[in-house]
Amino acid sequence: MALFIWKVVWDYLPTRSLLARRGMRVYLMYVDCPKSMETVCHMLFECPRAAQVWRRASFFLPGPTFGVEDFLRHVRIALRLPSTAGWGLTAVYLAYHIWLDRNVKVFEGRRAFLRSIVERALCQVVEIMEVGELDLSAMSRNIWDSLFATTTPRFVLVSWKPPPSGHLKVNFDGSMSGSADRAGVAFVIRNYGGRLIAAGGFLMRDMFCRLVASFWRATQVP
């Protein structure tokens, strides 16, 4: 997620306007707005579809001049305190899922329901808040130098495909220390809607490799 925000800050998301600046011959207009150029600001805040996503999540943008710098300033302020950190995380994940929704339209020619976009973002925020209390000391600070440097949690999202309707999906992994005398294993179970069902993990000793730890954990999940 930090990488996504970094790209938003520095205008490095591969929008059509960026691709054109890099010499690629692409159609500059946004997929939902044939009269507007596809920029980060338009895609995340100005586009009517994006505005509907924000409204469905009870986020009301101040006005048509609200842009990337305003967004980052609000997020930075929100993440300073545990009482408002949930708001900041939700804003970041909503922006991320608006970007994913754009990609689905561009590459697959389809759109998700607005409600689904909001629910997926909120589910990920709930997972983070439920797994452990938000620790402000575990924030990455000022990683973008002086250009509206913000704080973002050190969470990394990976690609995840939901299971068929009515099924659960188990993801598991393991890792070990550099001295190879300790290993950690963990699992997470989600339903077809991406909702967290269960998660767990613990420390193991005298494991020979990460692969062994991962497979051992898999055999313990019913």
The model's pLDDT over 17-71, given as tens digits with 9 standing for 90+, comes to: 999 998 999 999 998 898 999 999 999 999 999 999 999 888 877 666 678 888 8
Q: Is position 159 within any domain?
A: no
Grade residue 208 by pLDDT with cuts at 50, 70 and 90.
very low
Q: Which domain range does residue 194 map to?
A: 168-220
The model's pLDDT over 81-120, given as tens digits with 9 standing for 90+, comes to: 878 888 888 999 999 999 999 999 999 998 889 989 998 8
Q: Is position 162 within any domain?
A: no
Same domain, 137 and 182: no
Please give the tally of structural domains in the chain: 2
Same domain, 187 and 117: no
Q: Is position 69 within any domain?
A: yes
Same domain, 48 and 137: yes
- For the chain, the DSSP string reads -HHHHHHHHTT-S--HHHHHHTT-----EETTEEEEE--HHIIIIISHHHHHHHHHTT---S-TT--HHHHHHHHHHHTTSHHHHHHHHHHHHHHHHHHHHHHHHHHHS----HHHHHHHHHHHHHHHHHHS---GGGEE-STTTTSS---EE--------PPPTT-EEEEEEEEE-TTSSEEEEEEEEEETT--EEEEEEEEEES---HHHHHHHHHHH--
Q: Is position 158 within any domain?
A: no
The model's pLDDT over 139-197, given as tens digits with 9 standing for 90+, comes to: 433 333 333 333 344 444 455 778 888 899 888 777 766 665 667 777 888 888 778 78
Q: Is position 185 within any domain?
A: yes
